[in-house]
Amino acid sequence: MRTAFFRALLELAAQDERVTLIVGDLGFGVVEPFAERFPKRYVNVGVAEQNMTSIAAGMALCDKVVFTYSIANFPTLRCLEQIRNDVCYHNVNVKVVAVGGGFAYGPLGMTHHATEDLAIMRVLPRMVVVAPADPIEAEQATYAIAAHSGPCYLRLGRAGEPVLHRPDVLLHLGKAIVVRDGRDITLISTGSLLETALRVAGRLEGDGVRARVLSMHTVKPLDTEAVLRAAEETRAIVTLEEHSVIGGLGGAVAEVLAEAGISGVLLKRFGLPSCFSSHVGSQEYLRAACGLSEDEILRSLRPMLDLVGRSYKSRSNTQPEHQVRAGER
């Protein structure tokens, strides 16, 4: 994802002289091409993320489109007051980019675990929150937030994420991508857990369960139409995110369902517990420790699948009656 982001950023900067990059003393291997090609539009502020954000806001007030870039929590939590007061309050074109969402920097410990960022960025007025699933989404999301007028948050993985989409897929802010269709259950994921969602869907198909898979790359504004359509058509929804189960994608989907008043919809949220990880290890290891492995998700889904099966059996039993009545009319 990181490589895809910088590839798109270079193209944007070549097309628009307003595009500027500010970094917090990191990523020299990936930022050097930008710094060498556009030295007057590149600033390394050092380990001073509060200053980075305020400088970005000031430049944006002078008609620049400014991308700030740093690892995980540093461009968000460390400078939250500046994002709120300088960026969001003034509604300026600052695009906050965090590399290493979730447990991507797992071996570095909880200081580098970005597990609350979606909830915190989502609550800020005027902030658009995007978490792409693969390099194709990351590249298109970069173009999309650059075109959007106002503050945006882009949550990237780190490196090595597989390509999951066809090259012709189109990303629009606020519109989920239907990656796989199905009518028994809907899996909604954000960020790099899309790969896990697709694997789970594949294994469910082997058990005769047709799972719809949505990539909800934009957490705010949420695609409420896609959520409600899934509720009406599949009657069971599962959310997956490498983020606290509080306040992120699962919470946003639950809010939509509760306010719509749709009865009989089953909801299961998969995310991280609201605690600091006591484990240190790879991203895969930490996901598994928090119940986000493929096997653990399938095991936890069994009670829901039993209910879905009974629900569909009940509905299928009533279907002939409806058909007869329709024929009579």
Give the tens place of pLDDT for each residue, 2-50.
999 999 999 999 999 999 999 998 867 889 999 999 999 999 999 999 9
Residues 95 and 222 placed together within one structural domain of the fold: no
Residues 59 and 131 placed together within one structural domain of the fold: yes
11 within domain boundaries: yes
CATH of the domain at 136: 3.40.50.970
Residues 190 and 139 placed together within one structural domain of the fold: no
| Distance between CA atoms of residues 267 and 116, nearest Å | 21
Residues 212 and 306 placed together within one structural domain of the fold: yes
How far is the CA of 94 from the CAs of 4, 66, 180, in angstroms? 19, 5, 34
261 within domain boundaries: yes
Please tell me the predicted confidence (pLDDT) of residue 146. 98
Residues 289 and 191 placed together within one structural domain of the fold: yes
Give residue-wise pLDDT tens across range 41-55: 999 999 999 999 999
Number of independent structural domains in the chain: 2
Residues 188 and 240 placed together within one structural domain of the fold: yes
136 within domain boundaries: yes
Task: Read off the pLDDT of each residue in 173-184 and give the average, rounded to a whole number.
Answer: 97
Is the pTM higher than 0.85? The answer reads: yes
Please tell me the predicted confidence (pLDDT) of residue 149. 97
326 within domain boundaries: no
Which residue, chain included where needed, has tokens 């829901």?
A: 304
Residues 248 and 303 placed together within one structural domain of the fold: yes
Residues 132 and 189 placed together within one structural domain of the fold: no
Residues 119 and 150 placed together within one structural domain of the fold: yes
Give residue-wise pLDDT tens across range 249-263: 999 999 999 999 988
Residues 57 and 143 placed together within one structural domain of the fold: yes
Please tell me the predicted confidence (pLDDT) of residue 69. 97
71 within domain boundaries: yes
Cross-strand partners of 42: 21
Q: Distance of alpha carbon 137 from its chain centroid, rounded?
A: 10
Please tell me the predicted confidence (pLDDT) of residue 26. 81
322 within domain boundaries: no
Last residue of a domain, one of 156, 186, 205: 156
Cross-strand partners of 65: 19
Q: Cis (ω within 30 of 0) for the bond into 221?
A: yes
The residues, any chain, with a CB within 8 Å of residue 12's CB and separated by 6 or more, are 19, 142, 143, 146
Residues 250 and 301 placed together within one structural domain of the fold: yes
CATH of the domain at 258: 3.40.50.920
- 310 — pLDDT class (breaks 50, 70, 90): low
Residues 6 and 136 placed together within one structural domain of the fold: yes
207 within domain boundaries: yes
- Which amino acid, 283? Q
- 315 — pLDDT class (breaks 50, 70, 90): low
What's the domain range around 35? Answer: 2-156
162 within domain boundaries: no
pLDDT at 264 over 90: no
Q: What's the half-sphere exposure (Cβ side, CA atoms, 13 Å) at 231? A: 23
Closest CA to 283 of 7, 29, 26, 72: 72
| Distance between CA atoms of residues 38 and 13, nearest Å | 8
Q: Which residue has the higher pLDDT, 154 or 265?
A: 154
Q: What is the mean pLDDT of the chain?
A: 92
Task: Read off the pLDDT of each residue in 88-111 and give the average, rounded to a whole number.
Answer: 96
Please tell me the predicted confidence (pLDDT) of residue 52. 98
Q: What is the CA radius of gyration of the chain?
A: 21
